[in-house]
Structure 1
């Protein structure tokens, strides 16, 4: 394909997000060829919130939706796909992003470097904080496996490339990100978004559907997009479509009902069971994906290279690899006087990481603000417990508080004494 005059369709689902317009402005300003961009925007807002200023621009196709009628991000993304008009390329981003200079031509250059007929460039974008002096920096990130939820869905996390790796070309990936996905325009027809999905499981579902349809997943080797992860005071769909507003007939459904149905559907898909719509592709099998990614959806276990974030595909594992993964519990003891000042004042969350003897993260727990309330006391030590599956034994911990007002605070690290770690007996 000649990329010189190829069109890029940019999909943006925005829910009551005041960062939508700055995102679009930055996208246009930083592009090498803004005239070749076509936007599909689902603007979900209220009558007291600003209108979208680009509605009369012929490059924009806008769905104007009352927030009370919204059915969630996946529904919005599915609706936006209906606005695609055969553009050569498809870019899906969140409505709170910033871009690198010449992001469009640089993405196209990376697509050529993949040497794939059906490439997807995707990652969890590096973080930024909106404001007058925005800093767009940081190393490029990848999407790493974190753990399985109690109902068997993969939890994913942003991570830096393994120590010592500074790739100069796209790197193969195990998962795709819904907030930054760049691929062929035909993706819209071949892997259309499932409007019945809600949030958790969205990326796993799209990953296996894309992979089994013949798409190859890659991480960009450079940072081309940044994402606002904090989103202080932002309105969320699940915050509005709650029990109270449902009871008052303000909204037609509860987010929790959508989430339950969505998770059930993703569970069926990941276990190879038939689903009534938006199922797997026919180019590869689900077993092919599990072998490539080093995962077992049935056992809810991940191979060691997968946990360590090494580039796929994994080498052939031992026959008993799943049996080597054991349930652990670790007790992390933190002296209160070692906490950075203000750690409990306005926390967004605390990152708690458990590491093995080589410094690889075994598991990660994000302690949300409400879980930190019991720690507001005068005891000399804070005691945190963490349960996880691991093939390797835990050796160290890292605690890193994130403040809503001041960002990341000082990081704490410590060793895990043998008496503070134990293998749990698995249930029969």
Structure 2
């Protein structure tokens, strides 16, 4: 289902004209009303009159998370404070939080973006959305909430945690769409299994999962356990929250809401724009944001963009599912490794569950040592030591082949690795302790 064909299926040339008009308006607004951005532009010797096409966006300055922290709380505000209706902040627990301030129109655009997202998963006014994203300063809960209301669906604002009650509500109210982090969805499935609940016999038909990287392996696991279609959604607090991009029924890349957010891919080292199809760092400009609009925000997420004819009828550009983050990248013995690469490699190995943790430490010889702890499926874990040794050896071989890195693999029993109701913790780097 396409929620808003006028924008989602817009002629590409017409969309470019719309984007440019909005970029010109945004650039002028920031130059004349936000001293932070005026200072950046003047330091680069540019002004709004230098922006004559969408390609000229490359002339504009980047914005980083450090910029947002240094201007906390209202240094990037582009409108009178009295027009701010809502505030959200990053979910991180360390450092100064980043602030996203919303006017009434910003909330309406957020509702629109999230309604498109839920519709991409087949959602309509006839659905009941059980929302397991956390409510509060984190954008996930209210973002989905606003989108479901705009869609006309029934919304159950469960928030995260209280898993037994989640399962009870799912059964009692016939929830049809589940939203939350993929790791929590798997945790709920484990709890349901232990409680004797057959999730496939409930009314669920789809799930919208995000807020953390997840693999095709996790998707298959979720779809098999719930008997649903699982869709990837993408967003970040700095830009607006969830609703920036979403999968349609094709499940072949995430459609970006291009009329609202302009994407670029850059070389993370040089900052130079990369051509379509080439992997690099994802950058976004908020084309219509009024409260705290951002120019060329460096997300640190690694992906690539591609424009293709989609079977769903949308003409918006797609971003590939994330490969990882430039600041999550581990450098181990001179080799660059993303935790998500390890998860992708585990897809090939029968007998493992999508639960793992990477422990990096310095050995007695001062060289990096890596231990990969992987959960083994219940039916595979037995007293047959030889069978487990073959599996362990196989994982080590695959990791060496895929990543070019030797690591020690430790097989652990099901449910040994700590679960999280939020973002799963995949890396323990002891080298910095």
Same fold (TM over 0.5): no
Q: Which structure: greater helix fraction?
A: 2
Q: Which has the higher strand share?
A: 1
Give the TM-score normalised by structure 2: 0.29
